[in-house]
Amino acid sequence: MQRLLVFCLLALCINAHAVFLAGYVGDSRIQSSNDIYKPAGIVGLSLDAGFFNEPENIVDYKLSFVLKRFGYSHHDGDETVSLWSIGIKPLTWSITLYDVSLELYGSFNYIFSTNGNTEYFESKLYRKTNADSYTYGYGYRLGYNIKPQFFVALQMDMQFMKWRSNHVANNEYIGGVGLSFQWNLPL
């Protein structure tokens, strides 16, 4: 199964006519209720690689794969909780007029690493559940095509963490706002 998936991804790369790379740097501080003292943000990051982007179209869609870091800090920034995930944005819709573009997307991510977990986070949500941890989310970007190959935008990204423990689902969310860029590879 893994070989088939890798083969399909390579076939997509070879046959894709509109390949792009994107990045995001922002303040990850929007969060649901928690038990921490003086919550604050951390630097949220993401790197995307995707296909099917055609910025000359007024309405367009694209697909991308993403590596993401998000989380929060507490105790006036002395302690941080960060989560790393890999995922997919299966459908990103965009509307472009006069080089100004608005994009909306949904995402599914698998959390593969965490750092600095609080005792609450550790006991109630993550490690002691012995279950896979994933997020689903949404976001949007509003930006400007500086050149046909380069796009800069303000981006908002929200991730809803879903944890399963004894057949009970728990939901928490973490998100933020930041600066995004995209470079369309010339082919």
Q: CB of 84 within 8 A of CB of 109?
A: no
- Cα separation, 106 vs 45, whole angstroms: 17
The pLDDT of residue 163 is 56
pTM score, whole prediction: 0.77
- Cα separation, 117 vs 124, whole angstroms: 11
The pLDDT of residue 144 is 95
2-184 maps to which CATH number?
A: 2.40.160.20
Least confident of 52-56, 109-113, 143-147: 52-56
- Domain range annotation of the chain: 2-184
Q: CB of 11 within 8 A of CB of 55?
A: no
Question: Does the pLDDT of residue 63 top 70, yes or no?
Answer: yes
Which residue type sits at 23?
A: G
Q: How confident is the model over 80-103, as a mean pLDDT?
A: 90
The beta strands (E) that lie in the chain are given as: 20-31, 42-51, 59-74, 79-97, 100-115, 134-147, 150-165, 168-184
pLDDT band at 27 (very low <50, low <70, confident <90, very high): confident
Least confident of 22-36, 88-102, 134-148, 164-178: 164-178
